[in-house]
Structure 1
Amino acid sequence: MLTLLASVSHARGAPESFADLAQQVSPAVVNITTATVVAQDTGPSPMVPEGSPFEDFFRDFLDRNGGDQSPQSRRSSALGSGFVISEDGFIVTNNHVIEGADEIEIEFFGDRGTLPATVVGTDPNTDIALLKVETDEPLPFVPFGDSGAIRVGDWVMAMGNPLGQGFSISAGIISARGRELQGTYDDFLQTDAAINRGNSGGPLFNMDGQVIGVNTAILSPNGGSIGIGFAMASNVVTKVVDQLKEFGETRRGWLGVRIQDVTDDVAEAMGLADARGALVTDVPEGPAMDAGMEAGDVIVNFGGEDIEDTRELVRIVGNSGVGETVRVIVLREGQTQTLRVTLGRREEAISADASEAPEETPGEDAPLEKTVLGLSLSEMTPELREELGLDAGSSGLVVTAVLAESQAAAKGLEAGDVITEAGQQRLETIADLEARVAEAKDGGRQSILLLVRRGGDPRFVALPVEE
């Protein structure tokens, strides 16, 4: 109890006022107005039969009232927030604030007036945009802080243009860290500082006047603030901004693997002490394959950082430099191995066409069919390859049916799945699978790890060896 009281006594109390902080940072916060030209249909024109006695009348009427009845255009405007990050006029905001805009106008705090802005680059994945204004005099700006140092319960202040009402501040605490909404690279700080529409793109400050987040989203049933707001962490934003400033686009690292989380049953089937890391399900042609990575490897450390799950690996790889050589530690058959991977570029990999698998000549023997582990299985045939839309070189066992009360059904296996590995060894025949099951039993394992492909997408599934 004494230790608890001592800890509480050192806790920082609420600030007496946020006025000094607001006065310090407000000159660098901006309101953003965008304009977009939108085509607008004026409605149907009068239909007059050719040769009608009213034809000349309606032609004269239309000429007097604007003549051409083609679609007109109107200007649509939107409001948001942003902040200046350098004295030469670079401004950060949300991508959704300026997306599709034909004109962007920056309004500065106080009597500094407005300036037009151009888009330097955008990153829809993190909803960040970098703008630039031209000015002869240096602009007030704010620095980024370390979002990794902010703690749950620390005081923060949000500033922006809520609901188009102009410069406004709100204060609260960090409610949670590491929130994920929908994006692959999400790393949101959750705050109860009031954030409303129009605050998007504005800064979230720590008590030292540093930006530790970019206000991006709210969670609300009615569209207004209910004390659940999200700001993209500054440690993500700074990397994106640096790349947009240098290249006008993002250049994220690419490892070149398909992965899944290590669940408790998968860990047991693989003989792992802990359910952590990222399990590699497939290694297509790319950096990982060149480095010797294999399906079934568990990535436990990347570039000196321990990997807890797939989300963390994707984030760390994406934040790594293209062309950078990284030390990757994997678990393979119970032993650690260190690989050195030279990363590619994710954006190029996504746009590249997938390579075709080499063809192989199928055997002529009739396939064996049997039920194992609650699965009705058939060995691969040319007919099954064609029916499932598989490449000529595809091998494995085809699931033709799943027993309704089996663990296989509970794990989501279904007819049409193809099992290509068991116990991290390739399967060609049902006898291969039965041998792997027997080995698992002899080794005291309660389950066996299967590599299952559905529509070309691989995943590992652990099934009990006693069905």
Structure 2
Amino acid sequence: MKKFFGFLGMAVLGGALTLGGYKMLMNDKVVVERTITQPIKTVTASFNPALNKASSIANTVDFTVAAANSVHAVVHVKNTAIRTQANPLDIFFGNGNGTRKFEQVGTGSGVIISSDGYIVTNNHVIDNATALEITLNNKKKYAAELIGTDKENDIALLKIEADEELPYIPFSNSDEIKIGEWVLAVGNPYNLTSTVTAGIVSAKGRDLEGNSAIDSFIQTDAAVNPGNSGGALVNTRGELVGINTAISSRTGSFIGYSFAVPSNIAKKVIDDLLEFGTVQEAILGINIDNSDQSIEGVKISSLTEGSGAEVSGLKSGDVIKKVNNVNISKFSELRGQLTAKRPGDFVDITVERSGDLLTKKVKLTKKNIFASKSFNIYLKDLPKKDQKKYDITGGAVIIQNRNKSLDYYGVKEGYIITKINKKAVIDAADAAKTLDAVNGKGNPVYLEVINLEGQKERYAFR
């Protein structure tokens, strides 16, 4: 009997030990099985911070500082022009000369760029104005003086005399702005003052088909409408990166994209107008080969004799890749860089030649060939020796003629234009500008030229 209870005790003890060991082993396995969800948590954890970071960035983009720094420095520009219109009733009843004059009012925006009242706007905002009125954000009104204009880049400089220091927007380096960067458009669309819209930079160096002005716009999706022209495009620090100029639209209203003149170009134009009264255009002295559209960069087809490009060692066939470390992928980007420079400036031009990258320091020269796009001719300055030969001051030589009317009358390349509408021609730039201003306005254009035999000829064109 005692032996039976001994065996029974040993069996119970063994069972207890076995059960305890089993439970210990099973508990360990249960813990391991529960940790199988940890890889999922780890994957999720490694993904969530990216989402949180994106959400954090979106939430920390604050436009209030930029808006506060710029809204008071953007003004309303009122352009009043006196127009003449035919009035057939005067002729029919014999009460007048067949015309009537009326007042036409246009509006736009402008940007104060100095505390003493200098204002930049678009040329098309103030074109043909007989009176200009500026309204500040605080409703104060001032008469404005036109300091100078540059039709090619669609920039105009105005000045008002205020009895206080004015808020202004400082210039930023537009080369440093990046695609995808937030920007604000500040202006007066539809006469709604102090309007701020936001968007991102969609593209840089944008050239617009059919646009005769600048070919190096900043493209943005910030809403810009009629009346915004001449207003500010600013970065999130409230610094000026562009002057809003155009919209891409079939309706006349904003449908997705707007375009601004880069601040570097606007500043250079303003500096030239203040110092010289006219824009100083700089050129490399090259001709472009556009035959291969797949090339990233600008391919040189030939060089002008004696130009900075030739002197520096650039060659035909070189592909321009950079200007002063700014990447160049197309001609509009190259033009944009050169437009922001002056004759006499040095630039580092990086080119690809036979697979190698070379950098040459090039001295920019003054532009000496000018096109009258409406008259379809190319002109250059008459050399001093020829001015002395013909006893004239100024003059412009026709170096390329695509005008069928001139062809019809026998006007050839090498003819010298001395007068336009009885006004003496100063130089080629003056001649091209004058022809574009008067041609196609409905009035005749009178040209006085010197032919290849040195004889004077006069022509009238409609």
TM-score over 0.5 for the pair: yes
Q: Partner of 2:107 in structure 1?
A: 79
Q: Partner of 1:311 in structure 2?
A: 332
Change (3 A) 1:88 1:311: same
Change (3 A) 1:304 1:209: closer
Question: What is the alpha-carbon distance in structure 2 between the residues aligned to residue 342 and residue 202 of structure 1?
Answer: 34
2:161 is aligned with 1:134? yes
Change (3 A) 1:349 1:175: closer
Paired positions, count: 330
Q: Partner of 1:179 in structure 2?
A: 206
Task: Name whichever structure is richer in helix by fraction.
Answer: 2
Change (3 A) 1:204 1:282: same
* Contact preservation (8 Å) 1:262, 1:278: no
Q: Partner of 1:269 in structure 2?
A: none
Q: Partner of 1:123 in structure 2?
A: 150
Displacement, 1:197? 0.4
* 2:123 corresponds to which of 95, 100, 107: 95
Structure 1 unaligned spans of 5+: 48-57, 266-274, 356-389, 392-467
Change (3 A) 1:323 1:17: closer
Q: Partner of 2:248 in structure 1?
A: 219
Displacement, 1:326? 4.1
Change (3 A) 1:233 1:300: closer
2:155 is aligned with 1:110? no
Displacement, 1:157? 2.5
2:274 is aligned with 1:237? no
Change (3 A) 1:4 1:285: farther
Q: Partner of 2:76 in structure 1?
A: 31
Q: Partner of 2:301 in structure 1?
A: 281
Question: What is the alpha-carbon distance in structure 1 between the residues aligned to residue 119 and residue 195 of structure 2?
Answer: 18
What percent of counterpart residues are identical? 36
Letter in 2 for 1:312: E
Displacement, 1:36? 1.0
Change (3 A) 1:347 1:86: farther
Question: What is the alpha-carbon distance in structure 1 between the residues aligned to residue 357 and residue 363 of structure 2?
Answer: 19
* 2:239 corresponds to which of 210, 231, 242: 210
Letter in 2 for 1:108: L
Displacement, 1:234? 2.2
Question: What is the alpha-carbon distance in structure 2 between the residues aligned to residue 23 and residue 326 of structure 1?
Answer: 37
> Could you state the TM-score of these two structures normalised by the residue count of structure 1?
0.61
2:222 is aligned with 1:193? yes
Deviations 1:134-159 (A, max 9, x none): 22321111212333444444433222
Q: Partner of 1:144 in structure 2?
A: 171
Question: What is the alpha-carbon distance in structure 2 between the residues aligned to residue 334 and residue 354 of structure 1?
Answer: 42
Change (3 A) 1:264 1:21: closer
Deviations 1:137-196 (A, max 9, x none): 211112123334444444332221111233322233333444322467433333332211
| Structural mapping, 1:268-347, within 5 Å | 275-287=295-307, 288-291=309-312, 293-303=314-324, 305=326, 307-328=328-349, 330=351, 340-346=361-367
Instruction: Give 1 or 2 for the bigger CA radius of gyration.
Output: 2
What is the RMSD computed on CA atoms of the aligned residues? Answer: 3.5
* Contact preservation (8 Å) 2:88, 2:98: no
* Contact preservation (8 Å) 1:262, 1:309: no
SS at match of 2:270: helix
